[in-house]
Structure 1
Amino acid sequence: MSAPHRPSWRLFPGRVAALCVVELQKIRHDRTELYTRAIQPALWLLIFGETFSRIQAIPTGQVPYLDYLAPGILAQSALFIAIFYGIQIIWERDAGVLVTPTPRTALVTGKAFAAGVRALAQAVAILVLSILLGVTLTLNPLRWLGVVVIVMLGTAFFACLSMTIAGLAMSRDRLMGIGQAITMPLFFGSNALYPVALMPDWLRVVSHVNPLSYEVDALRHLLIGIPGNLPLDFAVLVLATAAGIITASSVLGRLVR
């Protein structure tokens, strides 16, 4: 007698978890990428953060600028990991290993949150460096749990954006070009480096529709206690991630034809 068929929704969490475990195994076997990717955020904190803290060029109230900057650099690091994650999809297509019985939604969700796992691994290095530089971070374990959730959601959204671009661009070179073209506008069009109040009106509009701003806002609230709207930040990131998964899943078929 054949085994009873399990509904696909029951298999979904297991498939997503399996892809995250695969990503963890990749990190454990080869940490080189983590080390090299940590160089850029370290330079932002050491050079940009320290310099602007000394000259007090960006007013951040009673919060030291380096404290204000650290959550933004953490979000930036996750963005830089996620925005090129679609290259992996194209590589798997070219290698002939992308064809899988796993439903597209589960595949996209698994890869999106696997990118979040990679971002968390790098976040540890950034937060350790922040502490060494004197940044005062929360000791509340519930807030640290919130940081994990926010980083996972933010990274998952941008990974889905990358996979969507991969499905449209169809080649690694095009994806690299598009990714490089949108990464810095996303970063500078957020509140990662400076308060929204200092932005010109048109940039404020960009910041308000940029999911990275909501990720940074939540991280600042959780890590250093700056007042924020955590329910709004969380809701925006959840909705953005859900929309990203749906969109990426719908274009993934172009890569597996």
Structure 2
Amino acid sequence: MSEAPVAPPTASADPARERGIGLLVQPPQPRAGWRVLPARVVAMCAVELQKLRHDRTELYTRAVQPALWLLIFGQTFTRIHAIPTGGIPYIDFMAPGIIAQSAMFIAIFYGIQIIWERDAGVLNKLLVTPTPRSALITGKAFAAGVKSLIQAVVVIAIAAVLGVALTWNPLRLLGVGAAVVLGSAFFSCLSMTIAGVVLSRDRLMGIGQAITMPLFFGSNALYPVAVMPGWLQAVSRANPLSYQVDALRGLLLGTPAHLAADFGVLLVAAAAGIAAASSLLGRLAR
């Protein structure tokens, strides 16, 4: 009795099943770092912003101080004409500086949060994941930028109610958002760098309170650089807040500005801040 011919093997009718079996035999190839890093940054930023959904009181309470600056300080100095502002009302001149100030005040104490995460054991769990330290810091820095951007919208709304002549050009407003985010990224990284050095919430709070007002008054937020004494002009030129204010003033009011130089300084400062904070993150977790 002759044997029946054996049919040749045919392709599987279920390609998905074949792929699944193939993954059991050979693991998938890892994605390149340049593809992983942006996704991790966005994920960390989203995690940070989730905290804002559960507690919005920070936004409301931090809106009080810039409102007082505009309502009391701005309107008073507009009436007495004590500070030369190049022919524009003083409250208009001051409004971009208050936007930068409110953003800085949010970002400069961001290191307290990372120390809290260290004490709660969250930071150690994040560091054992495959996420690069630079992605952790960048995500937190840009989350601070988004929080500051929300604060900037509140200050712009108050300024508009007070009659400040702001631009509503969408491209210029996008530039305003970029300047706020970059400036906040730098100051939040500065705070996280200090946290990596002092390792204590109390010390960080003291240093933060000690440097915020010198950074603010040592910038062009409240008065033009031309009226400052020589030594303060040198401080202002080394102060990243001055470049942020200059960019905001040029974009919102249309005053003469050096936007290319301003954004260049902010980009370099943010990159340097991310690098410094990333290098000290391991020390903070010990």
TM superposition score normalised by structure 2 = 0.88
State the match for 1:69 in structure 2: 94
> How many angstroms apart in 2 are the aligned matches of 1:144 and 1:240?
22
Mapping for residues 30-45 of structure 1, pairs under 5 Å: 30-45=55-70
Query: What is the SS of the residue equivalent to 1:4?
Result: coil
Whether the 8 Å contact between 1:72 and 1:191 is mirrored in structure 2 is yes
> How many angstroms apart in 2 are the aligned matches of 1:225 and 1:20?
32
2:227 to 198, 221, 240: 198
1:157 to 186, 198, 214: 186
State the match for 1:109 in structure 2: 138
Mapping for residues 128-143 of structure 1, pairs under 5 Å: 128-143=157-172
Deviation at 1:22, TM superposition (A): 2.3
State the match for 1:49 in structure 2: 74
Report runs of 4+ in structure 1 exceeding 3 Å deviation. none
Matched letter for residue 189 of structure 2: C
State the match for 1:249 in structure 2: 278
> How many angstroms apart in 1 are the aligned matches of 2:257 and 2:278?
32
**Greater shift after overlay, 19-28 or 146-155?**
19-28
| Post-superposition CA distance 1:162-218 (Å, at most 9, x none) | 000000010000000000000000000000000000100000000000000000000
> How many angstroms apart in 2 are the aligned matches of 1:74 and 1:90?
27
Q: CA RMSD of the aligned region, Å?
A: 0.9
Asked if 1:225 corresponds to 2:250, the answer is no
State the match for 2:17 in structure 1: none
> How many angstroms apart in 1 are the aligned matches of 2:46 and 2:156?
23
2:115 to 82, 90, 93: 90
1:7 to 32, 47, 65: 32
> How many angstroms apart in 2 are the aligned matches of 1:121 and 1:133?
19
Matched letter for residue 105 of structure 2: F
Deviation at 1:95, TM superposition (A): 0.2
Deviation at 1:122, TM superposition (A): 1.0
> How many angstroms apart in 2 are the aligned matches of 1:151 and 1:225?
17
State the match for 1:211 in structure 2: 240
Query: What is the SS of the residue equivalent to 2:28?
Result: coil
> How many angstroms apart in 2 are the aligned matches of 1:9 and 1:253?
22
Whether the 8 Å contact between 1:58 and 1:194 is mirrored in structure 2 is yes
> How many angstroms apart in 2 are the aligned matches of 1:25 and 1:224?
34
1:147 to 171, 176, 182: 176
2:154 to 96, 104, 125: 125
> How many angstroms apart in 2 are the aligned matches of 1:215 and 1:34?
21
Unaligned runs of 5+ in 1: none
Aligned-residue identity in percent:
71
> How many angstroms apart in 2 are the aligned matches of 1:63 and 1:227?
12
Deviation at 1:29, TM superposition (A): 2.6
Deviation at 1:28, TM superposition (A): 2.6
